[in-house]
Amino acid sequence: MNRLTGTTAIVTGGAQGIGAAIVTRLAQDGARVASLDIDAARGQALAADLQSQGLNVLFISADVTIEDDIRRAVETTEAHFGPVDILINNAGRNAYFDAAAMSSDDWDASMALNLKAAWLGAKYVLPSMKRRGGGSIVNISSLHARLTTEGMFPYAAAKAGLTGLTRSLALDYGAFNIRVNAILPGWTRTAGVDDWFSRQPDPAAAERRVIDTQPLRRIASPADVASVAAFLVSADASAITGAEIAVDCGLGAKYAG
């Protein structure tokens, strides 16, 4: 498919996992893609592999919690590919703290990556999108924005904030044909999830327990999330904004209410 031909996209956290899958899918759909990540080795390796396949991908080393890095990355993307049409705010990390014991520095670091970085990305692409009369932003939130479990503080708070940010931007910029949506993944087959399984006393049993809770009896793949992201930024989703799309193999429906 080439439904994104002629567009320029930025994907944060694009070196591995869901981010790498999104970089790959958008490039396969014809977009010129700038992949941002703090992990230069993985990011450069992915970009080189995709370039060898004839895809238009640029890796930019950036810490998305630092405003100057975001500004520089947007400027570099525009100089290399042209104005940004698509922003995927994917960078994030689980956080597990006790609210009474967590330090202010830990709180600030978690919020900077899981929430503030998405605002910074939007801050530096919205003016150009507004001038040109359109654009699309997708924030990769989490099912924890709606439903959570013990021990997920403050990750759930940050992801709930990210969905609130999504709604606000959708309302504030809809008149300029800028669409802003959120994807809420559930359990997804990433390195982090595989590492969590491996650290359980019985990894195989732990994985079976998780899979048995999923209505589809499987967990999502990064490619599943990437497919939804590619749809949301395409003209096929031109009437969708302010939406929260769960990609969770039905887990949210099972526990709703």
Residue 173 β-bridge partners: none
- pTM, two decimal places: 0.95
200 sits in the region (left: phi over 0; alpha: psi -120 to 50; else beta) called: beta
- Distance, CA of 101 to CA of 120 (rounded, Å): 28
Contacts of 1 (CB under 8 A, 6+ apart): 28, 29, 30
- Distance, CA of 18 to CA of 9 (rounded, Å): 15
Q: Is the pLDDT of residue 134 over 90?
A: yes
Q: Is the pLDDT of residue 256 over 60?
A: no
Q: Say if residue 154 is preceded by a cis peptide, omega within 30 of 0.
A: yes
- Position of tokens 């910074």? 120
Output the average pLDDT for the chain. 96
- Give me the sheet containing 57-61, strands edge to edge: 57-61, 32-37, 8-12, 86-89, 135-140, 178-185, 244-247
State the pLDDT confidence band at 257, using cuts at 50, 70 and 90: very low
Residue 215 is assigned to a structural domain of this protein: no
Residue 24 is assigned to a structural domain of this protein: yes
Contacts of 211 (CB under 8 A, 6+ apart): 217, 218, 219
For residue 174, count other CB atoms closer than 10 A to its CB.
13
Mean pLDDT of 140-149: 92
Catalytic residue among 96, 124, 155, 255: 155
Mean pLDDT of 108-114: 96
Mean pLDDT of 223-228: 98
Q: How many domains does the chain have?
A: 1
Tell me the per-residue pLDDT of 14-40, one tens digit each, with 9 for 90 and over: 999 999 999 999 999 999 999 999 999
Residue 163 is assigned to a structural domain of this protein: yes
Q: Is the pLDDT of residue 209 over 80?
A: yes
Residue 211 is assigned to a structural domain of this protein: no
Residue 155: active-site member? yes
Range(s) of the domain holding residue 49: 8-188+221-255
Mean pLDDT of 188-209: 91
Q: Where are the alpha helices (DSSP H) in the chain?
A: 17-28, 40-52, 67-81, 104-111, 117-132, 155-173, 191-198, 203-213, 222-232, 251-255
- Position of tokens 């080189």? 48
Residue 75 is assigned to a structural domain of this protein: yes
Predicted confidence at residue 255, as pLDDT, reads 63
Mean pLDDT of 235-252: 97
Residue 213 is assigned to a structural domain of this protein: no
Mean pLDDT of 103-124: 97
Residue 210 is assigned to a structural domain of this protein: no
Residue 205 is assigned to a structural domain of this protein: no
Among 131-140, 189-198, 203-212, 248-257, the range scoring the smallest mean pLDDT is 248-257
Q: What CATH code is carried by the domain that includes residue 121? A: 3.40.50.720
State the pLDDT confidence band at 95, using cuts at 50, 70 and 90: confident
